């Protein structure tokens, strides 16, 4: 599946052009930390109008499990009863996250808080973060991963053959019309 991820930076995206260019799913930034992403509902409405599957991501600033749970609670509050088919994603890339005392515990806390409400949740990170910072093998093998690796192929399963690769972000330099988007292959 051809999937894009969007935020404020893609606020002027023409969704008809996106569909015409083969976009089959959208992951929408819903929060940054505990702050609402102003454009999230507009993106979701555009997807719903066109029956495009969508999910959401939280760009995390959590450095403790407690902060991660607070971020998850904000995402759950904003989603309300809206049923996203592509899940919730914990975007773990901010410098303060990468240098926190327990990155694996922070990721686990967010995922568990979302899963406890019956909603699928995964982790978005670069391959180097997953191999060098987060202890993937200490997390449940049911957790899906969305991996950023700008290369000719994603090597996630070379390192973690027993874990689920849900999506591969292979470029941050694609355009739909005049709008720059991150492009992803989606497998689930």
pLDDT in tens, 41-86: 999 999 999 999 999 999 999 999 999 999 999 999 999 988 788 9
pLDDT value, residue 26: 98
Across the chain, what does the average pLDDT equal? 96
Contact of 26 with 52, CB cutoff 8 Å: yes
Segment 14-43 shows an average pLDDT of 97
Q: Which of 121, 180, 35, 163 is nearest to 155 (CA)?
A: 163
Segment 89-104 shows an average pLDDT of 98
pLDDT in tens, 140-177: 999 999 999 999 999 999 999 999 999 999 999 999 99
pLDDT band, residue 188 (cuts 50/70/90): confident
Q: Quote the CA–CA distance of 175 and 152 in Å, as a whole number.
A: 18
């Amino acid at each position: 599946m051809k999937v894009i991820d969007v935020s404020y930076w893609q606020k002027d995206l023409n969704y008809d052009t996106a569909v015409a260019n083969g976009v089959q799913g959208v992951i929408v930034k819903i929060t940054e930390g505990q702050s609402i992403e102003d454009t999230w509902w507009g993106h979701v409405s555009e997807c719903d109008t066109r029956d495009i599957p969508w999910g959401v991501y939280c760009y995390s600033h959590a450095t403790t499990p407690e902060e991660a749970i607070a971020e998850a609670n904000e995402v759950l509050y904003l989603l309300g009863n809206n049923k996203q088919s592509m899940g919730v994603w914990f975007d773990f890339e901010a410098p303060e996250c990468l240098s926190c005392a327990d990155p694996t515990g922070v990721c686990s806390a967010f995922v568990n808080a979302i899963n406890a409400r019956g909603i699928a949740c995964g982790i978005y990170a670069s391959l180097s973060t997953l191999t060098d910072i987060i202890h993937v093998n200490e997390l449940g093998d049911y957790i899906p991963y969305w991996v950023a690796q700008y290369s000719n192929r994603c090597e996630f399963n070379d390192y973690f053959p027993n874990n689920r690769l849900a999506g591969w972000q292979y470029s941050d330099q694609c355009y739909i019309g005049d709008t720059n988007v991150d492009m992803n292959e989606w497998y689930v």
